[in-house]
Amino acid sequence: MASVTRRGFVGSLSALAAAASMPARQAGNVSLPERRAGHVSIKITDLKCAIIGQNPVVRVVTDQGISGYGEAEGVKNYLKPMVMFYKQYLLGEDPTDVQRVMLKIRRMGAFKPWGAAVSAIEIALWDIAGQAAGVPVYKLLGGKIRDRVRAYDGAVRFPMHGQTPADYAENTQKIKESKEGFTLIKQAVGFHNPAMIEAVPDGWYDSPGRPGPGHPDRGLLTERGMEQIIACAEAMKKVLGDEVGLALDCGPGWMLKDAIAFARAVEPLHLAWIEDTLTGDYSVYPNAQVFKELTEATSTPIHTGEEIYLRENFKDLIENQAVNVIGPDPEDVGGIAELKWIAEYADLHSILVAPHGVFDGLIGLAAHVHLAATLPQNYIAFEYPIAQPEWWSEIVEGLPDPIMKKGFIDVWDAPGLGVRFNVQKAKARLRDEDRDFFD
């Protein structure tokens, strides 16, 4: 029996060799050389960047009439010079060879803001590759494992009338009742929302750098300040019950002792996670060793990662299991393929992934959906970006209507990212210096 199997195998090899030596017209299918001869080459001819509303939008232009779009966070309206730095490295390249192009520019990025420029370009390249192949981007990332993706709320907000626990309960109730039907809501507390602490006299010990824009870099909480945050968290969770999850964006800026005390105090609330207590946002290091101390001291899930660029900078967090949840942003981490690699590596270490994205815009939303469709089973949800300003929903076409149903988004199948500008309407929103963006 073994000899028969071997003869059959050898015979099969001989048949394959004979077929390979046939002229293409006799082989029954188009030969590889003919396929190559019929392949239409595509080259990058231009890189453009416009600030539309507040979001930097990247357009990669090709010689075949296909353009790809990427977007950066709306808080980075200064990004255009960083984007345009990379033009010299893109011209003449085949945009469908995404990894080859990224090898040229990824090493020249860094933590914010340079990583944002690289990430926006990467997303635009995948948009082109999908259009050129006639398939949605998720197909190029390995195919989807889910037909709808979960998103959590970090952007749908209502005016706050005060800073008491009752005010936070009322505000959270409004979000719970919003038309999106979120199954997970994130609220800002602690140093990510200093108004909460400042509403309490002597709520925190002052630190260098105040007053000024943004939240403090670091600080010590007083007992009153700690009690205020805990009371507000309890009030919000009471409203949500076990129907809707609650995550808390806490910092960065906490000292380790305060972070441990808070994480232990809220253990009975069964939070989805507490985010960026120690480092985050514009911090240029993840501080894995200290995060590990916090993670091991509590059963409350610990989350970080929105500020981190590239897989190399997640290595210590993941391999040391320093956190329970990572939240890279596709518009900062190096793009969607980079985030997928990181999520898969995290999955090997039993770490969950909940990508950041509150300011990523509607093109960013499309990138999130394609990415989330392909992520492994450690995926929780991505942070839902909304149209800011609202007229963004008038200049982008291809998104579902409504976008979200009961906390989930159906994955669409249009080629590329599947969203396009209504150029006529979008041109009316361009700044004077960006008038040639769509030309």
CATH number at residue 224: 3.20.20.120
Same domain, 227 and 96: no
Q: Which of 194, 44, 140 is nearest to 340 (CA)?
A: 140
Q: Is a pLDDT exceeding 90 seen at residue 218?
A: no
> CB of 191 within 8 A of CB of 253?
yes
Same domain, 290 and 178: yes
> What pLDDT is recorded for position 10?
34
Q: Is 2 inside a domain boundary?
A: no
C-alpha distances in Å from residue 178, one per residue of 91, 153, 181, 405: 45, 10, 6, 11
Mean per-residue pLDDT of the chain: 90
Same domain, 179 and 317: yes
Of 113, 135, 157, the domain-final residue: 135
State how many domains the chain has. Answer: 2
Q: Is 287 inside a domain boundary?
A: yes
Q: Is 439 inside a domain boundary?
A: no
Q: Is 437 inside a domain boundary?
A: no
Same domain, 98 and 120: yes
By CB neighbour count within 10 A (0-12 exposed, 13-18 middle, 19+ buried), where does 195 fall?
Answer: exposed
Q: Is a pLDDT exceeding 70 seen at residue 172?
A: yes
> What pLDDT is recorded for position 13?
33
The token pair that represents 400 in the structure block: 């579902």
Calculate the CA 215 to chain-centre distance. Answer: 22
Q: Coil, helix or strand for 103?
A: helix
Indicate the Cα dihedral angle 334, 336, 340, 346, nearest 10°: 50
Segment 173-198 mean pLDDT? 94
Same domain, 128 and 152: no
pLDDT band at 211 (very low <50, low <70, confident <90, very high): low
**290 φ, ψ (degrees, to nearest 5):** -75, -40
> What pLDDT is recorded for position 5?
37
Residue 350 region by backbone torsions, left for phi larger than 0, else alpha for psi between -120 and 50, else beta: left
Same domain, 158 and 116: no
Of 90, 111, 135, the domain-final residue: 135
Q: Is 24 inside a domain boundary?
A: no
Same domain, 222 and 315: yes
Query: For 306-341, how does the pLDDT look when each residue is reduced to its tens digit (9 = 90+)?
Result: 999 999 999 999 999 999 999 999 999 999 999 999
> What pLDDT is recorded for position 30?
29
d(CA 158, CA 404): 18
pTM for the structure as a whole: 0.90
Same domain, 112 and 228: no
Of 118, 135, 152, the domain-final residue: 135
DSSP 291-332: HHHHHHT-SS-EEE-TT--SGGGGHHHHHTT--SEE---TTT
Residues 6+ apart with CB under 8 A from 309: 109, 110, 111, 112, 114, 115, 118, 332, 333, 334
Query: For 246-290, how does the pLDDT look when each residue is reduced to its tens digit (9 = 90+)?
Result: 999 998 999 999 999 999 999 999 999 999 999 998 788 888 999
Same domain, 295 and 264: yes
Q: Coil, helix or strand for 50?
A: strand
Same domain, 107 and 250: no
Q: Which domain holds residue 403?
A: 140-429
> What pLDDT is recorded for position 251?
87
By CB neighbour count within 10 A (0-12 exposed, 13-18 middle, 19+ buried), where does 116 fall?
Answer: buried
> CB of 169 within 8 A of CB of 238?
yes
Q: What is the CATH number of the domain that holds 90?
A: 3.30.390.10
The token pair that represents 216 in the structure block: 């403090």
Q: Is 415 inside a domain boundary?
A: yes
Q: Which of 324, 334, 282 is nearest to 304 (CA)?
A: 324
Q: Coil, helix or strand for 219?
A: strand
CB atoms closer than 10 angstroms to residue 75: 15
Same domain, 197 and 111: no
Amino acid letter, 151: A
Q: Is 28 inside a domain boundary?
A: no
Same domain, 201 and 126: no
pLDDT band at 89 (very low <50, low <70, confident <90, very high): very high
Q: Is a pLDDT exceeding 80 seen at residue 95?
A: yes
The token pair that represents 256 in the structure block: 């380790």
pLDDT band at 184 (very low <50, low <70, confident <90, very high): very high
Q: Is 35 inside a domain boundary?
A: no
